[in-house]
Structure 1
C-alpha cells in the first residue's frame, strides 16, 4: 500500500472536512505516494516515537495530535517540533494527524470514552453546524430513479437513522442548445421542452466530492444544472463530545472511582459533589471547558473532560459535577481505537500500537 491508500481508509472514519477550522490535520510530513512498510499509531509524535518507528521499520506514523500546529518559519532543530520534523524527513517517515476530525466523528475519541465507561444510548453532545448541504438538480423523468439511486449509493439522503431520503417534483424544463452543443434530448439551435424531475437530497459536506462525482457520471445531459446549498440544520452524527447513560445509576463517589479505574487515572479534579445519583454522563476528550453549558443544558449529571481552569469549576453551579481527568488520560485510548480500526480494514498489514507514553504531565 501507499500512504494515500491508508489515509483514504482513515478518512472514511474521520473525514478531514469535519475538522475544526483552527486545526492542522492530514498529511503533515512526507509523500502521499510513498510505499508503506509499516504503520505506527500514537497519540503524539515525539522524537522517541520516531525512534520507535525506525526500530520497527514503520515509515508511516498515524498521530492523533498534530506535531505541526502553527506555521514553521524555520527548521533548525531548536525546538522539539523542529527536531521531530527533521528526523522524520531524514528517515523518510510520513506523519499523518487526525485530531479534531476524529474528535467530531461519531465513532471517534468520545465514542471510545463512552465505550470504556460502558455508557449506552449515546448521542453527540454538540452537533456540528454548517456541515449539512442540499443538492437540487433537474433530470429527464425517465432517468430520475437511476440518478437518485446513484446519489444514494454515494452517501446522499442519509438523515439520522434513515437512508434514501429525497424530495422530487415533476415539471417542464426548457433549453436551446448553441452552435457547438450536442443535446441528448432535442436539437441544437431549437428551443426544446422536456418533462423533468427536480431531485432534492441532503448530504454531509465532507461527502460533497463523491456526491458531485455521482451526479456528473449518472446525469444524461451534456450540461448539468444543479445547485448546492449550505443548511442551518445541525448534523446529529458529527460534533464535539458525547452523551450517554449508565446501565445502572451510581452515587457520585462510586462513579468517580469507577472512572478512575476504567480510565486508568490516578487523580480526578472535580467540582462540589451534590449527593445525587449519576445516570446521564457527558464526555469530551481533551480541553472541553467550552462544552460545560452544553452538558448542563442536556441534563448531564457528570461532565468528564480536562484542562479546566480554577473558575470554570464554578460553572457547574450545583447543576452537575464537573470532573477533570487530565488531557492525556481522556484521550489515551484513541490510539487503540485507530489500531483496531486499521486492523479490521487492512488485516494483513503491519500495524503497531506505540509503546511510548507521551504524557508530558507527571504526578507525585
Structure 2
C-alpha cells in the first residue's frame, strides 16, 4: 500500500479543494509512491510525534493540523516547525494533514462532536457557496443509459442521501461532419438529425474533471456537446460548523457539565446563562468565533467552540450562550475519526493513534 493510495482515499471524502484558502492540507513532506510501513494518527505534528512514529516504525504521520501553514524559506532548525520537518525527512517519514477540508466534510470533525454531545439530526451551520456545477450533455437515445452510468460511476448526480440523480429531456440534434469527420451516426458531408436526450446532473467542483472524462469515454460521438455551468447554490452538505437539537432539553449547568466531562476540559469560558433549558445547539471544532452570527441566526441556545477572544464574548449580545471549551479539547477526538475513516478502507498496514498529548495549553 502506497502513501498516495491512502491520500487519494481521504481526499475522495474530504477533497483538498474544500479546504480554506489559508490552509495547507495534503501531503506536506515525503514521497507519495513510497510503500507504507505503518501509520500514526495525531491532532498535531511535533518533534515528539515524529519520534513516536520512529519508535513505532511508522513512515506516515496523518495529522489534523498541518505542521507547515506558510512557506518555509529555509530549513535550519531554528524553530519547532523546521526541526519537525527536518526530523521527518531525515527518517523518511511522510507528513500528511487533513485539516479544514475535514472540518467542512459533512461526516467530519463537527459530525464527530455532534455524536459525542448526543445530537443525531445535524445540519451544516454555514453551507459552502460556489462549490457545485451542473453538467449538461446531449447524447443519442440508445447511448443515454451508458453515458448516465459513466457519469454516476464517477460521482456525478449525488445529492445528499440520494445518488444517480438526473433530469432527462428529449430533443432533436443536428450536425454535419466535414471530410475529416468520422460520425457515429449519419454520413460525413450530409446534415444528420438524431433523436437525442439532454442529461442534466449536479456535480461537485472537485470531481468535475473525472466526471467529464468518464462521460466522454462512454459517449459515442466524435465531438461531444456538453456544458459545465457554475452554480451559486449553497451546498448544504459541505461547509463550516453544525447545528442540531438535543433529543431532550437540558438545564444549562447540566449541559455545561456534560461538555466539561465529555471533552475533558480544565474549564469552560462562557457568557451569562439565561436560566432556561438548552434545546438547540450550534458548534464548531477548533476556532469558530467567525460563525457566531450564523449560530445566532440559527436561533441556537448555545454555541460551542474554542479560541474566543475577550471582546468577542460581547458579540453574543444576550442572544446566545457562548461556551469556549478550548481548541484542543474540541478537536481531540478527530484522531479517532481519522483512524475510523482509514480502517473502513484499509487493513494492510499497522495503524496507531498517538499516545502524545500535544495540547500546548495547561490549566492550574
Q: Deviations over 1:245-294 (max 9, x none)?
A: 21211111110011000111110000111111101111100111110011
For the 8 Å contact 1:151–1:211, the answer to whether it is kept is: yes
The residue aligned with 1:123 is 123
Taking the TM superposition and a 5 Å limit, the aligned residue runs for 1:212-361 are 212-361=212-361
Deviation at 1:360, TM superposition (A): 1.2
C-alpha displacement of 1:221? 0.9
Give the corresponding residue for 2:154. 154
Separation in 2, partners of 1:165, 1:348: 35
- Give distance in 1, aligned partners of 2:233 and 2:197: 25
Contact 2:241 2:284 in 1 (8 A): yes
Deviations 1:112-143 (A, max 9, x none): 11111111211111111111110011101111
- Contact 2:45 / 2:67 at 8 angstroms: preserved in 1? yes
Q: Is the 8 A contact 2:36 2:349 kept in 1?
A: no
Count of residues in Structure 1 that have an aligned counterpart in Structure 2: 364
Q: Shift in Å at residue 42 of structure 1?
A: 0.6
How far 1:213 sits from its partner (Å)?
A: 2.4
TM-score, scaled relative to structure 1: 0.97
Partner of 1:81: 81
Instruction: Give every structure 1 segment of 4 or more consecutive aligned residues whose post-TM-superposition deviation is greater than 4 Å.
Output: none
Q: Verify the 8 A CA contact 1:147 1:218 in the aligned structure 2.
A: yes
State the match for 1:90 in structure 2: 90
Aligned to 2:363: 363
Secondary structure in 2 aligned to 1:345? coil
Which residue of structure 2 lines up, in the alignment, with residue 198 of structure 1? 198
Gaps of 5+ in 1: none
- Deviation of 1:203 (Å): 1.3
Q: C-alpha root-mean-square deviation of aligned residues, in Å?
A: 1.3
Q: How far, CA to CA, are the matches of 1:198 and 1:295 in structure 2? A: 41
Q: Is contact 2:19–2:101 with CA below 8 Å preserved after alignment?
A: yes
Deviations 1:128-160 (A, max 9, x none): 111111001110111112212322232222223
- For the residues of structure 2 that align with 1:119 and 1:169, how far apart are their CA atoms? 41
